[in-house]
């Protein structure tokens, strides 16, 4: 059972919906390495050193400062920092409803599941259903942990089952760089290239996405190498992967990709099935050699000879 990490209230007009926040994601058991002293194998500790006085500075002698000019800081006390923090109201104040496809996913940050507190189930279901029916999402302000966040509420089917309201924290406009800063250049796509590309997309297209179909192969490989190392075995460096060929003729590359996909599909089909022109496997009867008689017909003369 999931454990709530915080509580809050969705403000929807004059309607208040008490909710609980749950983490929608969990950190993967990633492979991490520690820094050790090569001489004795002891884990080293981090220390802060003042380059001016050339001495170690303990935490109780540190203060926080803001650099307002090059190497010039204004310092703040703990009380001053707390006074500047946004008051955590835990209220999710809906400002507007917008079409779901009008928020670019590049603005998405962290996701949370929202669940209703006791007594708020009906209002919670109402908000989820109205967003689902209107195909809109709610944009709201949320103050927590000393900050103010802009968040998006959406009715969603859970990626791993279940359904409800997901709260997605969003980045502010000045936190996302404009795509115009990325050099793309000028290029013209011909109709023939586009048609071949569409065929390639159709070959590997799917109407659903199942995240469980994908695994972190690199993490698994590294963990296997670590296990071998723990057992006293040496780790051999893998052979370098060949560099991908540079695309010289786009049309030829697309045709080669289509041919490779079609060949792979044919090799995976059962022996009794043959792909038709549309790529659909159809069952064909086994061919009989010319002049060969059925087994039952051959057995008949032998039975008559036995009776004589």
Predicted pLDDT at 13: 80
Q: Based on the fold, state whether residues 64 and 151 are members of the same structural domain.
A: no
d(CA 6, CA 165): 15
Q: Which of 117, 102, 124 is nearest to 170 (CA)?
A: 102
- Residue 142 belongs to a domain: yes
Listing DSSP states for 66-77 in one string gives EEEETTEEEEE-
Predicted pLDDT at 299: 44
pLDDT at 17 over 80: yes
pLDDT at 75 over 80: yes
E strand map for 32-144: 49-50, 55-56, 64-69, 72-76, 91-99, 108-116, 136-144
Q: Which helix (H) or strand (E) holds 192?
A: helix 191-203
| Residue in the structure block whose two tokens are 């603005």 | 107
Q: Based on the fold, state whether residues 104 and 137 are members of the same structural domain.
A: yes
Task: Pick the last residue of a domain from 175, 208, 240.
Answer: 175
Higher pLDDT, 248 or 171: 171
Task: Pick the last residue of a domain from 175, 196, 217.
Answer: 175
Q: Which helix (H) or strand (E) holds 121?
A: helix 121-134
Q: Based on the fold, state whether residues 138 and 96 are members of the same structural domain.
A: yes
Cα separations (Å) of 295 from 167, 250, 284, 290, 303?
70, 55, 20, 14, 13
DSSP state of 187: -
**Which range scores top for mean pLDDT: 73-82, 134-143, 193-202, 292-301?**
134-143
- Total tally of structural domains belonging to the chain: 2
Q: Based on the fold, state whether residues 94 and 161 are members of the same structural domain.
A: yes
SS3 category, 172: coil
**Which range scores top for mean pLDDT: 185-199, 218-232, 236-250, 277-291?**
185-199
Q: Based on the fold, state whether residues 66 and 101 are members of the same structural domain.
A: no
- Domain range enclosing 139: 6-25+85-175
Q: Based on the fold, state whether residues 62 and 91 are members of the same structural domain.
A: no
- Residue 117 belongs to a domain: yes
């Amino acid at each position: 059972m999931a454990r709530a990490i915080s509580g809050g209230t969705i403000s929807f007009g004059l309607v208040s919906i008490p909710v609980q926040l749950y983490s929608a994601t969990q950190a993967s058991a990633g492979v991490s390495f520690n820094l050790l002293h090569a001489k004795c194998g002891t884990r080293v500790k981090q220390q802060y050193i003042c380059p001016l006085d050339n001495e170690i500075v303990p935490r109780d002698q540190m203060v926080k400062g803001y650099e307002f000019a090059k190497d010039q800081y204004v310092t703040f006390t703990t009380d001053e920092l707390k006074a500047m923090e946004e008051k955590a109201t835990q209220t999710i104040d809906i400002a507007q409803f917008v079409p779901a496809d009008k928020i670019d996913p590049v603005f998405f940050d962290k996701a949370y599941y929202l669940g209703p507190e006791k007594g708020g189930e009906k209002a919670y279901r109402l908000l989820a259903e109205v967003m689902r029916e209107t195909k809109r999402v709610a944009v709201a302000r949320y103050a927590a942990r000393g900050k103010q966040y802009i968040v998006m509420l959406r009715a969603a089917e859970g990626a791993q089952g279940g359904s409800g309201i997901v709260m997605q924290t969003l980045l502010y406009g000045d936190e996302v760089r404009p795509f115009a800063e990325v050099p793309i250049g000028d290029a013209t796509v011909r109709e023939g290239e586009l048609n071949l590309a569409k065929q390639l997309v159709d070959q590997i297209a799917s109407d659903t996405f199942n995240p469980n179909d994908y695994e972190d192969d690199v993490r698994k490989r590294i963990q296997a190498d670590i296990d071998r190392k723990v057992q006293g075995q040496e780790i051999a460096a893998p052979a370098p992967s060949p560099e991908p060929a540079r695309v010289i003729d786009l049309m030829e590359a697309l045709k080669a990709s289509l041919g490779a996909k079609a060949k792979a599909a044919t090799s995976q089909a059962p022996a009794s099935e043959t792909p038709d022109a549309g790529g659909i496997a159809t069952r064909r009867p086994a061919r009989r050699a010319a002049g060969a008689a059925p087994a039952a017909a051959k057995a008949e003369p032998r039975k008559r000879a036995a009776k004589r």
